[in-house]
A and B are shown apart, each in its own frame.
Chain A
């Protein structure tokens, strides 16, 4: 099957305009008869469901949490990018487009990324109109800050809770549609199968997680807005419930999986404290605006950080990358931290951490504040106090969170940080219209693979989720549904629904029937360790081959020895988790296969065999300037299809942040 990305022709800045002016439309009377299923209610799902409801479609939205407001978009901290150029610092749609393509190490589609940059400005307008309380300056206008991989200030934020504020904005829009009756909301429901009728996605089988009952839902189209799959690593910054199940079911029904091995390891997370650890907590990248990252110059230096004099510290990012300093992209910052810790320069009791230090920022801000207040002869202590207040106003909630988790006060001692899995650039392959290889089945937000290439820049996930939901899908869905206006709602007693429900039922019974000895959690932990050790920040052919074998045997063991307590027809979180872990195991295998297949390093995918002399990712544009889209051909059997990436505007070069 040849992949058709359906990128419109024409110059890069006219593609989306042309598409919007020429796509097919559905008239309001017909919209009322067209039913849309939206799975997931994060930024992509909530904004899509709300927008489609407003347009007059009949929408059903599903989330596994107790309320759509809990979706994991809520945990995004730092901000959302938009090419507003409010700071007059030379930003433009083209620059945001260029930065994103370069940041993604030339493995993203130009057409998609340019569209993303174009609609970024509309997102900010929409969110402000919906009541999102972004940070503002004294003049009442919006404030911006910088993020990694860019040299302009284009990031809009609401303290360290930008994701929360954006999600609440989208959620409120969604709830408004619920009250108007255009959206029907199903909380505590998990999608467990896509229903196919005559080659098209026409509905889902969902499980009511409270009663355990299976439900059949029809839709003319199905939108998966189900987020990323970082939890395949067990430890990640994802929420405990974040999972790949919906996307994986779609994959098994024919949706190709794009670049599954592209995962983002975020450089600034709170380090692991022990075996009991259930998740990792991110410290926003915005901290790298003011925090300086360093390790001691001497290996195994056990002094307290505050006792290590300036000249015995290695501010290694500032040293190696003078142009971008501490604001290099995430993949670069993560790799350097790992390298130094592996070489014995790590700090803290585990030695698997580096310092993120605010002392210099506190002093700098303190001096400015003292001048503002006319205190020319302020003592050092006074300056530090004033500086701490400024830092508190910028990052207070993050500092508080760090202290709660570690018991250390980051205003006084540097934070200890280490990279952790944070985001997955890979996902369901979609064309320009966000449709997967299954007709009628769409993927939005982190669930698709499209816009970030091999590495996502900070503050771009929120942008993409809302772009897809608010501004892309309302057009592209209509273009396809215009051909479906004569399709009557398919009754859910159709044999395709019955068959899909039976498959789900059989699988649940099979899981419950194993009655083995080991907990679901123990399998998840073991999978995570394989993935982190062999398909994590550094990968090599030998390790990946081992990982594939280890995952195969783990899968066998899971299906013969997992123990799930409780019953099917009740609230049973262990059963929910078992289904998700089973899917993660299968996905893990595909990720390793994909990583093994891609014989180059790019962005977050670092194959140790392929690096430059100074340890940077070494791409192979000749052979791998493509999307690897994997087709499912039965258990453990995947076939790769290539979508060649064509760069008409940007000329790929070795990424340099020096």
Chain B
């Protein structure tokens, strides 16, 4: 099939960006969306032009590196899907596809479709861990974990940190990301000792980074490639309120 692509091009974070239009032809329906971009880039290199920069690595939907905003949707039209797993059988000959980077103040553009998501790392640094030095652990089966809680914890831990939730949110809020980490760890007995400080510190860091507030729109859940549930945000709110009310803020 032959397609028209309108792609955001921006040299770096100091310059203005703009959409550029490209044509690609002979795209097979079996290609992945990023392989279609490979074709485009090969074509641009052959024409002596600069290829489109985009983030990608594992190409199997787990590393969280790919990050395209396709026709107004984070990771494109498929649900529970990353850009790298989107396949071209979704499109038909003659389609026009608009591709933008994640847009959020806390994710400044590095180049074209590549953004800086180190704000997520700093949120984890503020409390997204269990403080256990190597060698301090008791036997793994010493502490049984109720299966339901373990499963819920795992469901939250499936977050790949791609930032689609932020990109999809009109407020560019990172609540789904933060709540997934708080849920993952607070549902486990191992995470209990730091539970309160974690919730408070991570929310504070989220605010410091310039992410927006949550107004219960739910676009984050709808666009999350791993199906992280809004329930996690409800849980984060409970964790945060109970931590603040018990006066345990900043005890880390």
With A159-B154, A240-B56, A276-B31 as given contacts, are A126 and B38 in contact (CB-CB < 8 Å)?
no
Cβ of B116 under 8 Å from chain A: yes
| Contact between B61 and A401, CB atoms less than 8 A apart | yes
Segment at the B interface, from A26-34, A254-262, A562-570, A584-592: A562-570
With A179-B125, A187-B118, A279-B59 as given contacts, are A519 and B131 in contact (CB-CB < 8 Å)?
no
| Contact between B125 and A164, CB atoms less than 8 A apart | no
| Contact between A136 and B158, CB atoms less than 8 A apart | no
Minimum CB distance partner of B80 in chain A? A400
Whole-angstrom CA separation of A142 from B60 in the bound complex: 27
Cβ of B244 under 8 Å from chain A: no
Which residues on B sit within 8 Å (CB–CB) of A175?
A: 121, 124-125, 128-129
| Contact between A474 and B39, CB atoms less than 8 A apart | no
Which residues on A sit within 8 Å (CB–CB) of B93?
A: none
A 379-418 to B, binary, CB cutoff 8 A, 1 in contact else 0:
0000000000000000000001100110100000000000
Task: Give, as a whole number of angstroms, the nearest-CB distance from A462 to chain B.
Answer: 14
| Contact between A405 and B147, CB atoms less than 8 A apart | no
| Contact between B58 and A278, CB atoms less than 8 A apart | no
Q: Choose from B11, B46, B153 the contact partner of A133 (Cβ within 8 Å).
A: B153
B 70-112 to A, binary, CB cutoff 8 A, 1 in contact else 0:
0000000010110001010100000000000000000000110
Segment at the A interface, from B132-140, B209-217, B232-240: B132-140
| Contact between A133 and B157, CB atoms less than 8 A apart | yes
Whole-angstrom CA separation of A142 from B129 in the bound complex: 21
B 181-215 to A, binary, CB cutoff 8 A, 1 in contact else 0:
00011001011000000000000000000000000
Minimum CB distance partner of A69 in chain B? B161
Those of A76-129 within 8 Å (CB) of chain B:
84, 86, 122, 124-129
Segment at the B interface, from A8-16, A166-174, A368-376, A610-618: A166-174
Q: Choose from B42, B117, B158 the contact partner of A521 (Cβ within 8 Å).
A: B42
Cβ of A140 under 8 Å from chain B: yes
Which residues on A sit within 8 Å (CB–CB) of B138?
A: 125, 129
| Contact between A131 and B188, CB atoms less than 8 A apart | yes
Q: How many A-B Cβ pairs are below 8 Å?
A: 219
Cβ of A539 under 8 Å from chain B: no
Whole-angstrom CA separation of A127 from B139 in the bound complex: 10
With A179-B126, A405-B87, A566-B50 as given contacts, are A136 and B137 in contact (CB-CB < 8 Å)?
no
- Among A86, A136, A571, residue most surrounded by chain B Cβ atoms (within 10 Å): A136
| Contact between B121 and A185, CB atoms less than 8 A apart | yes
Cβ of A360 under 8 Å from chain B: no
| Contact between A274 and B28, CB atoms less than 8 A apart | yes
Cβ of B231 under 8 Å from chain A: no
Whole-angstrom CA separation of A159 from B154 in the bound complex: 9
Cβ of A273 under 8 Å from chain B: yes
- Among A125, A130, A277, A563, residue most surrounded by chain B Cβ atoms (within 10 Å): A130
Which residues on B sit within 8 Å (CB–CB) of A407?
A: 87, 89
Task: Give, as a whole number of angstroms, the nearest-CB distance from B91 to chain A.
Answer: 14
Residue pairs across A and B with Cβ atoms less than 8 A apart, 6 shown, are A125-B140, A134-B150, A135-B154, A161-B62, A240-B56, A276-B38
Ordered nearest first, which 8 A-B pairs have the shortest CB separation?
A140-B144, A129-B137, A172-B129, A125-B137, A179-B125, A133-B154, A128-B140, A51-B134
Partner-B contacts on A (CB < 8 A)? 47, 50-51, 54, 65-70, 72, 74-75, 84, 86, 122, 124-131, 133-142, 158-159, 161, 163-165, 168, 171-173, 175-176, 178-179, 185, 187, 210, 237, 239-241, 273-274, 276-279, 281-282, 400-401, 404-405, 407, 470-471, 474, 519, 521-522, 563, 565-566, 570-571, 573-574
